Amino acid sequence: MAANITDILAAARKHTDEVILPNVDGWNEAGKWPRAASAMAAAVGLTGLYAPEEWGGQGLPLGEGIRVYEELGRGDGAYAFTLSMHNICTFATCGYGTDAFKEKWARDLTSGRKLANFALTEPQSGSDATNMYTRAVINDNGTWTINGAKAWVSLAGEADVYLTVVKTTDKPGHQDMAMIAIPKDTPGLTFGPKYETPSYEFLPLAEMYMDNVVVSEDNIILPVGQGLQGALMAIDIARVSIASGCCGLMQAALDTALSYAKDRKMFGRKNLDLDGIQWMLGDVATNLEASKHLYRAAANALGTPEGPLMAAHAKRFVPDAAVDAANTCTQVLGGMGLLKPYGMDRLSRLSQMLRIVDGTTEVSRVVIGRALQKRAKTLPSLPIPKGYGE
């Protein structure tokens, strides 16, 4: 029987309160992925959310499982994002991996004994994902030899396997793309220096280099022709997961502001008694409610024809609302909002990062714009005065 979402959400809430919040500043100071913490998340079922039970997963539908990041995002948006990527890779492994690959990896991934991540971005291809160079040659014995470089790989050197999007010809475009899993210990796979980030320092981010990396055909996750399409499906799940995490971040910002403003004395009363402060925080609360409804609707639409557009709406609206919430709540604390112990600066930096990763706000606008053009074609034309339509 699939796990009960109420129990999983309670476990995620407890993980946030007992593991993330008391330790996240220490993780950032140490600058290392907190593997012991992700093992604790795994122990309560947070690393195989959508994977079937036969492979040790929780068997939750996406529409339910994605709510976990709302809980984790209240602790830390980068930690929530990283576990969401692992869960998507685990879902892809169980859904699309070969029998041999599943047998070797699925239980280790659902149990969190091993961690996975996804490598699509390259130095020259971020938003423009089709401009990719990483190239696989398919050998006569079925193995693939891979050469190239990926950029912005999360959990670089920490994850045990990387679901990597590659090209299989020199032709431009995406018709020849595939996705193949490269285990960390494969000869020829190396990582560049860890990027220096202003926050979320515990998340190792780096380039990943493939120098004649040879991988078995057992590791093919998406065959030639389906690599980019599959990656975009994974990114839609990631976009909604990020929106979910952003709701947790907004809740954290709002709660910090309320906790402070209710006791801060000014003008003979409390900061929270001022109409202007209530209005500022009221707008954050409204945006938070709207964001929750939007990401949950988008999560339920995943896998349907509306999924990509709904994911774009959620990724466009919610991280922007989170940036605004973090800034507004910082302002409510006055000077105290700038001090490290209140954590507002961490939330601001995380919210900005979440606007970029897995498709920027602008890329979401492009997706939404294309959908509007499509709809316009179905609408009757209005009379256009002479000269206006030419």
Ligand X SMILES: Cc1cc2nc3c(=O)[nH]c(=O)nc-3n(C[C@H](O)[C@H](O)[C@H](O)COP(=O)(O)OP(=O)(O)OC[C@H]3O[C@@H](n4cnc5c(N)ncnc54)[C@H](O)[C@@H]3O)c2cc1C
Could you list the residues that contact ligand X (CB under 6 A)? 85, 117-121, 126-127, 152-154, 205, 353, 356-360, 362-363, 366
In terms of Cα–Cα distance, which of 62, 83, 63, 61 is closest to 12?
83
Give the C-alpha separation, 244 to 67, whole Å: 6
Q: Rounded to 5 degrees, what are φ and ψ at 274?
A: -75, 130
Give the nearer residue to ligand X in terms of CB position, either 69 or 260.
69
Q: How far is the CB of 151 from ligand X (least distance, A)?
A: 7
Residue 3's identity, in one-letter code, is A
Q: How far is the CB of 360 from ligand X (least distance, A)?
A: 3
Q: How far is the CB of 287 from ligand X (least distance, A)?
A: 21
Give the C-alpha separation, 26 to 14, whole Å: 19
Tokens of 176: 């020849």
Residue 328's identity, in one-letter code, is T
Q: How far is the CB of 347 from ligand X (least distance, A)?
A: 15
In terms of Cα–Cα distance, which of 62, 86, 73, 5 is closest to 299?
62
Q: How far is the CB of 195 from ligand X (least distance, A)?
A: 8
Cite the DSSP H helix spans in 262-343: 275-301, 307-332
Give the nearer residue to ligand X in terms of CB position, either 56 or 308.
308
Give the nearer residue to ligand X in terms of CB position, either 85 or 325.
85
Q: 168 and 177 in contact (C-beta within 8 Å)?
A: yes
Give the nearer residue to ligand X in terms of CB position, either 12 or 120.
120
Residues paired with residue 206 on neighbouring β-strands, in sequence order:
153
Give the nearer residue to ligand X in terms of CB position, either 152 or 260.
152
Give the nearer residue to ligand X in terms of CB position, either 64 or 358.
358
Tokens of 299: 């999560």
Give the nearer residue to ligand X in terms of CB position, either 119 or 332.
119
Give the nearer residue to ligand X in terms of CB position, either 115 or 261.
115
Q: Rounded to 5 degrees, what are φ and ψ at 103?
A: -55, -40
Q: Which residues contact 306 (CB under 8 A, 6 or more apart)?
A: none
Q: How far is the CB of 252 from ligand X (least distance, A)?
A: 18
Q: How far is the CB of 278 from ligand X (least distance, A)?
A: 34
> Given the structure tokens 């209530």, which residue do they identify?
278
Q: How far is the CB of 227 from ligand X (least distance, A)?
A: 13
Q: 33 and 155 in contact (C-beta within 8 Å)?
A: yes
Q: 147 and 211 in contact (C-beta within 8 Å)?
A: yes
